[in-house]
Amino acid sequence: DWSPEALSRYFSMARGATGVPALELTKWFDTNYHYLVPELAPDQRFGYTSGTTAAMLAEAVELGIPARAVVLGPLTFLRLAKRTDGAATIDLLDAVLPAYTAWLADLVASGARYLQIDEPALVLDLTAAEIDGYRRAFPRLREAAGDAELTLASYFGSLGPNLEFALGLPVDVVHVDLVRAPQQLASVVEALPDAKGLSLGVVDGRNIWRADLTATVEQLAPVVIALGSDRVQIAPSCSLLH
């Protein structure tokens, strides 16, 4: 939303305004990038109002570009936010989900055939409430995505103890970071449910150097043999922003 009112609000959050301090700035996981920490009230209300990503997607579709729409997932959004009363942000999951389902539905209506939900919080230690939140949220997100291919993306580490439940979530493809955590490949392949696709993050999204394609082929050839080429996708480890 690039309206004057929205831009004024964005600048106030980032730089502060008269009598209103700027939001806290903290590192995005272990990168050198920073983000503004959302401050959420106990009775926080959420809404899908922008439509910017849907408009950009519709433009790509009109140009014949098979774009993939990527959104930060609700569980990671809440994990990285903070409550003004100090309580757990996961308690606001049911409040934020309608905004997310409206967002995904709008992307599908705008021509999305591929949707990706980034949940890097899956590489962190999760509480029982957060794990339950994933299991409650993703059926609703899956429904909102309709027939679009839905990818769940983790990065910046290994799924570790979150592996089993993450692979069981109702998505079409699961993405894993094999640059930060190459050791997880065998366990991911072994636990992957039948017919679910696997996106392998083998191109380092966090430096400018060329990938060693020979080593990558040697690493992935057994995976393709085991799963079939139709179930394997090759991808950057994370967003190329980094």
Tokens at residue 49, please? 């109002």
Tokens at residue 196, please? 């679910």
160-164: average pLDDT: 97
In this prediction, residue 166 has a pLDDT band, given cuts at 50, 70 and 90, of very high
In 59-171, DSSP assigns E strands to: 68-72, 82-83, 114-118, 149-153
Residue with tokens 């983000």: 35
- The C-alpha atoms of residue 126 and residue 73 are separated, in whole angstroms, by 15
Tokens at residue 200, please? 């392998």
pLDDT value of position 206:
94
pLDDT value of position 1:
64
- The C-alpha atoms of residue 101 and residue 137 are separated, in whole angstroms, by 10
pLDDT of 132 > 90? The answer is: yes
Residues linked to residue 116 through DSSP beta bridges, in sequence order: 70, 151
223-228: average pLDDT: 96
pLDDT value of position 231:
98
Share of the chain above pLDDT 70, in %: 100
In 75-171, DSSP assigns E strands to: 82-83, 114-118, 149-153
pLDDT of 2 > 80? The answer is: no
Choice between 241 and 114, residue whose per-residue pLDDT is larger: 114
What's the pTM value of the predicted model, to 2 decimals? Answer: 0.94
57-66: average pLDDT: 94
Residue with tokens 């027939």: 147
In this prediction, residue 18 has a pLDDT band, given cuts at 50, 70 and 90, of confident
99-129 pLDDT, tens digit each: 999 999 999 999 999 999 999 999 999 999 9
* 197 alpha carbon, distance to own chain's centre: 16
